[in-house]
Amino acid sequence: MPGKLIMDTAQQSAVIKRLMKLFNQQSDCYHRLIGVLEKQQGYIRTGSEESILAHVSLGEQIITEIFSIQKSIDPLEAMCPAVTSLADEITAIKAVLDALNNRALAQSEQNKTLLSQCMTAIRSEINVLATNPLAISAKRSLYAQAAVPSLIDIKG
């Protein structure tokens, strides 16, 4: 068949072994990402801006790593024979990876909602301060009410 890659048993075994290794790496990445997102949620609750930013950066690095691994997985999956003794295991691993992905997305959505609530609270606090008469009068200097000289006596 034109376009079909024919592999012997040793090559098929090597491809499947590499595919399983990549699935495990991707699974580890998802577990790390979920851990980072859970820690980030705690930092959002405490208001630690530097820690939130650090965890956002770390999360982005892990997501990049997940996509990089996926780019290696896709061609290997295409190379795998359609009928293998590991087809059920590969399907199960992919189901686990999908579940981890959904868990990471759900945690990310929770963090986004929590961060949005914190931002709303901060905006509300800013509006209260902006309309507070004590805060407004504190902005005025004692010298703000002093007359500004309009003529200067240079003969003195």
- If one counts every other C-beta atom within 10 angstroms of the C-beta of residue 131, the result is 9
Is residue 50 a part of any domain in this protein?
A: yes
Q: Is the pLDDT of residue 102 over 70?
A: yes
Q: Which residue, among 66, 64, 58, 65, has the nearest Cα to 36 in the 3D structure?
A: 58
Q: Is the pLDDT of residue 139 over 80?
A: no
Mean model confidence pLDDT for the chain = 83
Is residue 145 a part of any domain in this protein?
A: no
Q: Report CA-CA distances (Å) from 64 to 33, 67, 149.
A: 11, 5, 64
Is residue 14 a part of any domain in this protein?
A: yes
Which structure tokens are listed for 76? Answer: 């290997």
- The residue whose two tokens read 């999360």 is 59
Compare 15 and 55 and report the one with higher pLDDT.
55
Q: Is the pLDDT of residue 83 over 60?
A: no
Compare 85 and 74 and report the one with higher pLDDT.
74
Is residue 140 a part of any domain in this protein?
A: no
Q: Which residues of 3-22 are buried (b: 16+ CB within 10 A; e: fewer)?
A: eeeeeeeeeeeebbeebeeb
Distance CA 142, CA 99 (A): 63
- Domain coverage including residue 76: 9-134
Compare 129 and 5 and report the one with higher pLDDT.
129
Distance CA 77, CA 108 (A): 28
The angle that helices 49-79 and 9-46 make with each other, rounded to 10 degrees, is 160
What is residue 117's predicted lDDT score, i.e. its pLDDT?
Answer: 92
Give the global pTM.
0.73
Average pLDDT over residues 16-23: 89
Is residue 155 a part of any domain in this protein?
A: no
pLDDT band at 17 (very low <50, low <70, confident <90, very high): confident
What is residue 68's predicted lDDT score, i.e. its pLDDT?
Answer: 94
Distance CA 59, CA 72 (A): 20
Total number of domains constituting the chain: 1
Is residue 108 a part of any domain in this protein?
A: yes
Is residue 78 a part of any domain in this protein?
A: yes
pLDDT band at 135 (very low <50, low <70, confident <90, very high): low
Q: Is the pLDDT of residue 113 over 60?
A: yes
